């Protein structure tokens, strides 16, 4: 076997992962991709003078993950996979930036986080694409944006009002998270809190993914109670952000009724998260081995009432929003991403489902509560701002139903189980569906059972390129709307 087959959260002995000649690995990757697999991780681990490259591909239909590796020793280049399989483009750029091993033939070897003009070293500094001609002009936005959002730089090449090309520069948010993971590898509780800050809008998503990776390495069987509470928190996070996004999307097209109505609903939901965990974003809820806070009967009753009211409110507000001609005129056919493009670039999450790519880790690679209660995958076809807004509405209603079902099911077991030592020389992939899409953490332990590599992939890593593609040939004034319809994380990308 030239691939080692695992499942989400199945901890495997590292020595089982086949180590191949790079060209063989490349041939195999292309073969697997043509069979319908997609890449979920592609990262390096430096040991002495050698760099080991790990590749994880997902077969979503069969809930399988395939891993393989290759060693680079004294080699400083390899044959790029991107010309054949586009979705590798950013993974290869990141690998090059981190280890200096060059993917030969890569069409666009732009720095990922370390090429910022005036800050990065000169040989790293990147020059944007230039477009020349009459009435062609450039618009530079950022790193500081007009509103209260994270920093990033956008460079538009426009012809009049029309965007011909958008280049996005990242790296402003780089806080060295993966380095901090290794620096603090003995302090798992610290790392859990650090996971909460990978992206502050995905606290439960990232902390849960980290906790499950560690639980898998430490052979901890989490109680049913903890599983259910975590899943409820994850779905509350999804509802809260989706409501906030609908509010902001309505605000972006100056539809203030929708802006106010969805905004008020969001407050109720994040306050429900606070009722459980003491934090509006769920800080402190997730523990390694379970949860820190319980949901008692009184809270259960309150949550059910809040959700029942919310369901009616959302349905009414969505009916009003999505039947307003002025809203539809702005939402429809704006920022279209085709299914083909989505598959090419490896789009994930609601953005992918909005253009017909049926990907959802909750169904494809179930974990926590989704092993008990299967989730149906909803997709839309149009791939425009409308679809990305409407899929959020659909998912809010779906998440309300999921939480209700979880609240009604019997809860038993303790909140939290004690932590065991992590198994040595193991490899585990922890995937989950955050509100933004697929979160992937990969952990590798050394012979003493300590973390020796921890790789994080936020869904924003897959999806930012889609923003650049979606705005092509749109008016520049539609950019904020397109951007908001994806609502991607800068810090999750920059790590």
User: Which residue among 278, 326, 340, 448 contacts other proteins (CB under 8 A)?
Assistant: 278
Among 472, 469, 467, which Cα is nearest to 483's?
467
> Tokens in use for 232?
């409820």
User: Which residue among 69, 80, 173, 398 contacts other proteins (CB under 8 A)?
Assistant: 173
Stretch that binds other proteins, among 200-208, 335-343, 401-409, 451-459 (CB under 8 A): 200-208
Distance CA 391, CA 398 (A): 10
Is 347 near other proteins (CB under 8 A)? no
User: Which residue among 171, 205, 346, 366 contacts other proteins (CB under 8 A)?
Assistant: 171
DSSP states along 46-72: EETTEEEEEEEEEETTTTEEEEEEEEE
Residues 6+ apart with CB under 8 A from 88: 39, 42, 80, 81, 82
Distance CA 398, CA 362 (A): 12
Q: Return the number of the residue (33 or 260) whose C-beta is nearest other proteins.
A: 260
Stretch that binds other proteins, among 102-110, 186-194, 443-451, 470-478 (CB under 8 A): 186-194
User: Which residue among 82, 209, 277, 463 contacts other proteins (CB under 8 A)?
Assistant: 277
Q: Return the number of the residue (14 or 277) whose C-beta is nearest other proteins.
A: 277
Distance CA 463, CA 10 (A): 26
- Site map for other proteins, 89-108, x if CB under 8 A? --------------------
Smallest gap from residue 187 Cβ to other proteins (A): 8
Distance CA 150, CA 176 (A): 16
User: Which residue among 125, 292, 420, 423 contacts other proteins (CB under 8 A)?
Assistant: 292
User: Which residue among 18, 33, 131, 284 contacts other proteins (CB under 8 A)?
Assistant: 284
Is 119 near other proteins (CB under 8 A)? yes
Question: Do residues 89 and 453 make contact, with C-beta atoms less than 8 angstroms apart?
Answer: no
Smallest gap from residue 40 Cβ to other proteins (A): 23
Question: Do residues 93 and 100 make contact, with C-beta atoms less than 8 angstroms apart?
Answer: no
Among 249, 319, 238, 305, which Cα is nearest to 483's?
249
Distance CA 95, CA 100 (A): 7
Is 125 near other proteins (CB under 8 A)? no
Among 57, 45, 39, 58, which Cα is nearest to 14's?
45
Is 291 near other proteins (CB under 8 A)? no
Q: Return the number of the residue (315 or 340) whose C-beta is nearest other proteins.
A: 315
Stretch that binds other proteins, among 26-34, 43-51, 191-199, 216-224 (CB under 8 A): 191-199
CA–CA–CA angle 233, 234, 239 (5° rounding): 95
* Interactions with other proteins, residue window 132-161 (CB under 8 A): 143-144, 146-151
Q: Which residue, chain included where needed, has tokens 């009967």? A: 297
Distance CA 398, CA 392 (A): 10
Q: Which residue, chain included where needed, has tokens 């259960």? A: 300
* Interactions with other proteins, residue window 227-266 (CB under 8 A): 244, 257, 260-261, 263-264
- Site map for other proteins, 307-346, x if CB under 8 A? ------x--xx-xx--x-----------------------
Stretch that binds other proteins, among 69-77, 277-285, 334-342, 387-395 (CB under 8 A): 277-285
Distance CA 64, CA 6 (A): 6
Q: Return the number of the residue (133 or 147) whose C-beta is nearest other proteins.
A: 147
**What b-and-e string marks burial along 350-375, b requiring 16 or more CB atoms within 10 Å of the CB?**
bbbbbbbbebbbbbbbbbbbbeeeeb
Is 276 near other proteins (CB under 8 A)? yes
Stretch that binds other proteins, among 82-90, 274-282, 340-348, 369-377 (CB under 8 A): 274-282
* Interactions with other proteins, residue window 471-490 (CB under 8 A): 489-490
Maximum pairwise Cα distance, the chain: 70
Judged by the rule CB under 8 A, the positions of this chain that interact with other proteins are 113, 116, 118-119, 143-144, 146-151, 171-177, 179-180, 183-184, 187, 189-190, 193-194, 197-201, 203, 244, 257, 260-261, 263-264, 267, 271, 274-281, 283-284, 292, 313, 316-317, 319-320, 323, 489-491, 494
């Amino acid at each position: 076997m030239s691939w080692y087959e695992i499942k989400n959260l199945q901890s495997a002995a590292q020595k089982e992962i086949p180590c191949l000649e790079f060209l063989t690995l490349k041939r195999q990757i292309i073969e697997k991709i043509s069979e319908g697999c997609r890449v979920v991780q592609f990262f390096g681990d430096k040991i002495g003078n050698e760099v080991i490259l790990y590749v994880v591909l997902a077969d979503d239909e069969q809930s399988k993950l395939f891993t393989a590796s290759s060693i680079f020793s004294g080699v400083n280049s390899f044959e790029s996979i991107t010309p054949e399989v586009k979705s590798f483009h950013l993974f290869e750029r990141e690998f090059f930036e981190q280890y200096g091993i060059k993917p030969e033939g890569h069409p666009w070897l732009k720095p990922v986080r370390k090429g910022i003009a005036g800050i990065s070293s000169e040989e790293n500094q990147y020059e944007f694409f230039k477009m020349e001609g009459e009435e062609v002009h450039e618009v530079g936005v950022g790193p500081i944006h007009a509103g209260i959002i994270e920093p990033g730089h956008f460079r538009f090449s426009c012809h009049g009002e029309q965007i011909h090309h958008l280049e996005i520069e990242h790296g402003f948010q780089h806080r060295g998270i993966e380095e901090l993971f290794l620096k603090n590898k003995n302090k798992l509780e610290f790392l859990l809190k650090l996971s909460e800050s990978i992206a502050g809008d995905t606290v439960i998503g990232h902390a849960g993914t980290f906790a499950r990776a560690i639980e898998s390495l430490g052979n901890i069987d989490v109680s049913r109670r903890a599983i259910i509470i975590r899943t409820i928190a994850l779905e509350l996070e999804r509802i809260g952000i989706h409501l906030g996004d609908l509010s902001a999307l309505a605000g972006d097209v100056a539809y203030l009724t929708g802006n106010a109505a969805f905004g008020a609903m969001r407050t109720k939901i994040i306050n429900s998260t606070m009722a459980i965990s003491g934090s509006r974003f769920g800080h402190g809820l997730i523990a390694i081995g379970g949860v820190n806070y319980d949901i008692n009967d009184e809270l259960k009753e309150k949550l059910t009432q809040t959700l029942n009211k919310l369901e009616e409110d959302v349905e009414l507000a969505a009916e009003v929003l999505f039947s307003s001609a002025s809203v539809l005129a702005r939402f429809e056919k704006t920022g279209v991403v085709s299914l083909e493009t989505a598959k090419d670039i490896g789009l994930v999450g609601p953005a992918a489902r909005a253009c017909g790519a049926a990907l959802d880790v909750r169904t494809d690679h179930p974990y926590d509560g989704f092993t008990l209660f299967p989730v149906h995958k909803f997709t839309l076809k149009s791939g425009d701002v409308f679809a990305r807004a409407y899929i959020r509405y659909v998912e809010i209603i779906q998440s309300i139903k999921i939480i209700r079902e979880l609240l009604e099911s019997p809860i038993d077991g303790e909140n939290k189980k004690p932590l065991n030592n992590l198994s040595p020389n193991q490899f585990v992939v922890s995937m989950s569906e955050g509100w933004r899409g697929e979160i992937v953490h990969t952990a590798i332990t050394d012979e003493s059972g300590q973390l020796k590599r921890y790789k994080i992939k936020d869904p924003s890593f897959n999806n930012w390129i889609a923003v650049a593609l979606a705005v092509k040939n749109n008016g520049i004034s539609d950019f904020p709307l397109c951007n908001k319809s994806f609502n991607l994380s800068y810090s999750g990308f920059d790590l």
